[in-house]
Structure 1
Amino acid sequence: MTEEKRYAVIDGAAEPRLFFILEHFDPPVTCLYDESLQPELLKVAPYLVEVTEKVGLFLAEWGTPWGIFLHSQADMRTLRQHLRKYLQVLLPDQAKPVFFRFYDPRNIWDFLSVLSDWETHCFLGPIDKIATNYPGIDRQDSFHSARKQFPAEAHSRQKMLKITKEQYAHFNHLFAQRYINKLTHFINEVSYYHAADAMNIPHSVLTALSDKILINPLPNISSAPTHIDEEALIRHQNLAEACFYFCQDNKITDERSIRGFLYLLMERRIEQFQHIPPTWLAQLSDNQGPGYYRMEKLLTSELGFIPK
């Protein structure tokens, strides 16, 4: 029986230290993209790396969304050929495929959760197990219950995965809930500072909290804060949700705009959506110009700057 190997798909765009370990430890490696691409594109490409002992030690310490682990008995050539089929997917109502970063640990489990058993079996192919360590949480799955109903050699005849409308909507819902939780955590922390100090919160503190929670890819939001009562938690969750969907409904979809909106509300101590000045909402709802432009105008007018 062929020995199982541990591989990693490492995202060069998320973890530039990838090239340090490739240069210093020289593990077996291959780029998932066509290696004839321009050098600047190869720097941000995903790489399939065999996890040697030294490589494994580095990956365990990185703490960034660098990628995913794959356990397989397949050789690197076979595994690369299989994975390349999933670098692009077809989305509903789109004629052309889009690039898909299946190796992002922030998305892989949500993505797999929307697939059918057959699609999961085909996606795994020669892969025996997927594992991640993000954010500092070990997770792994061999998907035995989904795969046991199909012969090991069964595979899809489709050249590319097609995402249905229902799957796409469910995936977007999962993403939205995760982002709303992040916004709620930001409101919780700002509220704690407000409660501790009757004075307005300094911009330096607001910026630090925004950097820590909204920009940081690894915010610790695994548990509810003990310093906030349940009524306040519900109020903060409702505000985060209302702001997020208001922005979505008005085509304000970039994260910087949404972060900036929450920054402004916290600076003005607004913790309920109905307390937002109607003139602000009217300005943001006016579809004259792109969503980010309308938000930038409001933030510049009220704050004198645009939070990063």
Structure 2
Amino acid sequence: MSSSHTYGVIDLASAVDFRSPVVALSPPKGCSLLDEETYFDTLAVGPWLIDLDLCPDIGAVWRKEVRDRSCGYTVFTDLALADLRRHLRKFALAELEDAPKPVFFRYFDARVIRTFLTGGFTDAQRAQFLAPFDGLEVAAADGTGTQYFEPDAAPVSAVAQGG
């Protein structure tokens, strides 16, 4: 599979400086990961999906600043924006062994995804989450660079900071 899109998944609650340019986007450049009719009042602080290839100004800032912060992560995939949104939203609810009901899973939170990709997911869950991706890049927990995840590779590969 060869990457044709570079997407940013960003939590605007953690990225105040990105709110104005991001909430102005519409498909195919970007969309909210929340149901826009139900959560209209919270779109400016919710999770968003951005096609960084179609948004060069946001993409440039993303590559310099956001990818090394824990407010978002980068996905490399052949999926179209709507298909990637649909795939990610499948992970909105998670069942926990000790919880009587499903819980909201913050799949858009870089800290949560990093934790689950490095051991919180079962192998089957990890494979299902990463299946349509060429890769996923997220800020390292210690802030010294990024971690890169591939569907069929060892769980973590270090990537040098910057770039």
Task: Structure 2 unaligned segments of length 5 or more: list them.
Answer: 156-163
| 1:17 paired to 2:17 | yes
The match for 1:50 is 51
The match for 2:37 is 36
| 1:133 paired to 2:139 | yes
By how many angstroms is 1:23 displaced? 6.2
AA partner of residue 137 (structure 1)? G
The match for 1:247 is none
Q: Secondary structure at the match of 2:100?
A: coil
Cα contact 2:133–2:151 (8 A) shared by 1:
no
**Distance change >3 Å, CA 146–CA 118, structure 1 → 2:** farther
By how many angstroms is 1:20 displaced? 2.4
Task: Structure 1 unaligned segments of length 5 or more: list them.
Answer: 148-308
**Percent of aligned positions that are identical:** 29
Cα contact 2:93–2:102 (8 A) shared by 1:
yes
Measure the CA separation in 2 of the matches of 1:93 and 1:61. 38
The match for 1:189 is none
Q: Deviations over 1:140-185 (max 9, x none)?
A: 12142369xxxxxxxxxxxxxxxxxxxxxxxxxxxxxxxxxxxxxx
By how many angstroms is 1:132 displaced? 1.7
AA partner of residue 58 (structure 1)? V
Cα contact 2:25–2:31 (8 A) shared by 1:
no
Cα contact 1:131–1:140 (8 A) shared by 2:
yes
Q: Deviations over 1:219-264 (max 9, x none)?
A: xxxxxxxxxxxxxxxxxxxxxxxxxxxxxxxxxxxxxxxxxxxxxx
By how many angstroms is 1:82 displaced? 0.6
The match for 2:160 is none
**Distance change >3 Å, CA 48–CA 12, structure 1 → 2:** same
Measure the CA separation in 2 of the matches of 1:95 and 1:86. 18
Moved over 4 A (4+): 23-27
TM alignment of 1:202-221, pairs within 5 A: none
By how many angstroms is 1:58 displaced? 1.4
Measure the CA separation in 2 of the matches of 1:40 and 1:30. 15
RMSD (Å), alpha carbons: 2.6
Measure the CA separation in 1 of the matches of 2:61 and 2:93. 29
Q: Secondary structure at the match of 2:48?
A: strand
Measure the CA separation in 2 of the matches of 1:125 and 1:92. 24
Q: Deviations over 1:103-158 (max 9, x none)?
A: 322232221122233221111131220102352512212142369xxxxxxxxxxx
Aligned length: 147
Instruction: Tell me which structure has the larger Cα radius of gyration.
Output: 1
Name the TM-score, length of structure 2 as normaliser.
Answer: 0.76
By how many angstroms is 1:24 displaced? 7.2
Judging by fraction of residues, say which structure has more helix. 1
Measure the CA separation in 1 of the matches of 2:125 and 2:115. 14
By how many angstroms is 1:65 displaced? 2.1
AA partner of residue 149 (structure 2)? D
| 1:69 paired to 2:74 | yes
Q: Secondary structure at the match of 1:109?
A: helix
Name the TM-score, length of structure 1 as normaliser.
Answer: 0.43
Judging by fraction of residues, say which structure has more strand. 2
The match for 1:164 is none
Structure with larger RCO (C-alpha < 8 A, sep 6+): 2
Q: Secondary structure at the match of 1:107?
A: helix
Measure the CA separation in 1 of the matches of 2:20 and 2:35. 21
TM alignment of 1:157-236, pairs within 5 A: none
Cα contact 1:71–1:130 (8 A) shared by 2:
yes
| 1:96 paired to 2:104 | no
